[in-house]
Amino acid sequence: MRSFIMICLLLGSGLSVAAQSLDRFVIAATGTQAQTASNRLAYTVGELAIETGTSGTFTLHEGFHQTNPPYGTAVEAPAPLLHYRLYPNPATDRTVLELESNLPIQLQWHLYDVQGRAVGPPGGSLQLRDPQQVAIDLSQLASGTYYLMLTSAGHQLLETLRLEKR
């Protein structure tokens, strides 16, 4: 057993394992900026170099400090958040659709049966700025399941609500 372990150690010591190596550049801990009529130099030292560029005899190590970054900060416009409530559900003669949004939005609503046919009162359209309530008359509809679809002005489907008529 000892000889087996010794042979394994001798053979294993001759093998080396190569792993990924990462080059890290750390520069001293200071920084400054200077400007002439045609050039500007700003540097911060003491940070990791994340990119290296070479041009002719010059080598530049770039870190996170960028005086004129080649990119901007993109700020995405917030999407409208639509809060809704459909009550009573199941309903008998009428139901109320309560709507609220964080941004002004043009909404359209339509009522469909389970086969996808438009039914009931004609759909409506409203400009939602403040919380609003829409009363929907169901008295002319047979008992069953219906779907109330809310779309934006660009016909983008925002929400589908299931409605039970008794």
What six digits make up the tokens of 91? Answer: 């309903």
d(CA 147, CA 110): 8
Q: Give the domain range for residue 61.
A: 20-75
Residues 100, 158: one domain? yes
Residue 10 lies in a domain: no
d(CA 103, CA 107): 12
Reported as a single tens digit per residue, the pLDDT across 12-58 is: 665 555 555 555 444 445 666 677 887 776 666 666 666 777 888 77
d(CA 106, CA 127): 4
Reported as a single tens digit per residue, the pLDDT across 88-136 is: 999 999 999 999 988 888 888 899 999 999 997 778 888 888 899 999 9
Residues 138, 156: one domain? yes
Residues 96, 70: one domain? no
CB 63 within 8 A of CB 31: no
Residues 56, 86: one domain? no
Residues 156, 91: one domain? yes
Residues 89, 147: one domain? yes
27 phi and psi angles, rounded to 5 deg: -105, 165
Residues 35, 65: one domain? yes
**CATH number reported for the structural domain that contains residue 122 in this entry:** 2.60.40.2550
In the chain, how many domains are there?
A: 2
